[in-house]
């Protein structure tokens, strides 16, 4: 364990950006607590990390449930006694035109992408205030900076994450707050799209997608800055992306 090892909590850790972040930060000597709904994947990932010499704990997590998120944070406190960083990464992206009226999918995006981030803040922030230190990294998206046809609700949730994060930063000068906005990234996000025409468009859009490890590197960079340096916002997108 490095002398500057931090206790880092990662939501949505069973695949994509979350999984890549767990792997990289464990390699860099940080202590990880990971959560996601798919406990079997978390267990397999934990075995791999531990066999490589990393330190990790995990628990099933539903970010839309405040009690589940509280148990996630409590696990970190029980095992490591503190929470240095939480990466609010869990997200869904069932894009569709508004006229398709996929209201249940709208609600799912609001619950996971926005309410899930709020639950992460609600449970981690009191711990960090007691510690008088900590960092909250909220994963937004390039869709949090603009809107495309079919992305209205998804973009709304990600714009909200940007606004929420900036408010959090201004209110808490003792806590570092980072907004990370990935562009097209290799992950399972697009698999949640049920609108056929939109799915075809997104497949073409994602042809230039960068690996999830690129986003993990950005997260590592933000975490490992000196305590008086806050990387407030990063946009990480494919070089070939026009959006």
Q: With respect to residue 61, please indicate whether it lies within any of the assigned structural domains.
A: yes
User: Is 164 part of a structural domain of the chain?
Assistant: yes
CA gap 128, 30 in Å, rounded: 17
In angstroms, rounded to a whole number, what is the distance separating the alpha carbons of residues 198 and 63?
26
What's the whole-model pTM score?
A: 0.94
Q: Which residue has the tokens 């959560």?
A: 35
Does residue 241 sit within a domain? Answer: no
Q: Confirm whether 184 is domain-assigned.
A: yes
Total number of residues shown for the chain:
243
Cβ-based neighbours of 173, under 8 Å, separated by 6 or more = none
Does residue 176 form part of some domain? yes
Between vectors from CA 32 to CA 232 and to CA 140, what angle results, nearest 5°?
35
d(CA 188, CA 168): 29
CATH number, domain with residue 137: 3.40.50.720
Question: What is the phi-psi region of residue 29: left when phi exceeds 0, alpha when psi lies from -120 to 50, beta otherwise?
Answer: left
- Looking at 114, 154, 157, 223, which residue is catalytic? 154
Please indicate, yes or no, if residue 16 is contained in any of the structural domains: yes
Round to whole Å and give the CA distance between 243 and 237.
9
| pLDDT tens for the 243 residues of the chain, in order | 565 899 999 999 999 999 999 999 999 999 999 999 999 999 999 999 999 999 999 999 999 999 999 999 999 999 999 999 999 999 999 999 999 999 999 999 999 999 999 999 999 999 999 999 999 999 999 999 999 999 999 999 999 999 999 999 999 999 999 999 999 888 777 778 888 888 787 777 777 888 999 999 999 999 999 999 999 999 999 998 766
Q: Is residue 65 part of a domain?
A: yes
| DSSP β-bridge partners for residue 35 | 11, 59
Number of domains in the chain: 1
Q: How far apart are CA 45 and CA 13, in angstroms?
A: 9
Q: Which of 69, 89, 187 has the alpha carbon at shortest distance from 138?
A: 89
Which residues form the domain of 13?
7-236
| Annotation says 80 is catalytic | no
Whether 165 is covered by a domain: the verdict is yes
């Amino acid at each position: 364990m490095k002398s500057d090892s931090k206790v880092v909590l990662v939501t949505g850790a069973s695949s994509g950006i979350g999984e890549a972040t767990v792997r990289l930060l464990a390699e860099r000597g940080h202590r990880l607590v990971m959560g996601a709904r798919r406990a079997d994947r978390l267990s397999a990932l934990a075995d791999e990390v531990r066999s490589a010499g990393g330190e990790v704990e995990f628990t099933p997590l539903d970010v839309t449930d405040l009690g589940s998120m509280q148990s996630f944070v409590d696990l970190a406190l029980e095992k490591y006694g503190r929470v240095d960083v939480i990466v609010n990464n869990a997200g869904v992206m069932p894009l569709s035109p508004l006229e398709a009226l996929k209201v249940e999918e709208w609600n799912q995006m609001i619950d996971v992408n926005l309410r899930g981030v709020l639950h992460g803040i609600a449970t981690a922030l009191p711990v960090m205030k007691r510690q008088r230190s900590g960092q909250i990294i909220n994963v937004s998206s390039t869709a949090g900076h603009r809107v495309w046809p079919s992305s209205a609700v998804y973009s709304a949730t990600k714009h909200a994450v940007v606004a929420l994060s900036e408010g959090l930063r201004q209110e808490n000068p003792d806590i570092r707050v980072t907004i990370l906005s990935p562009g097209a990234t290799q992950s399972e996000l697009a698999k949640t799209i049920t609108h056929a025409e939109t799915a075809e468009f997104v497949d073409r859009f994602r042809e230039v997608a960068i690996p999830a490890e690129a986003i993990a590197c950005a997260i590592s960079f933000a975490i490992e800055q000196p305590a008086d340096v806050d990387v407030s916002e990063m946009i990480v997108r494919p070089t070939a992306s026009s959006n």
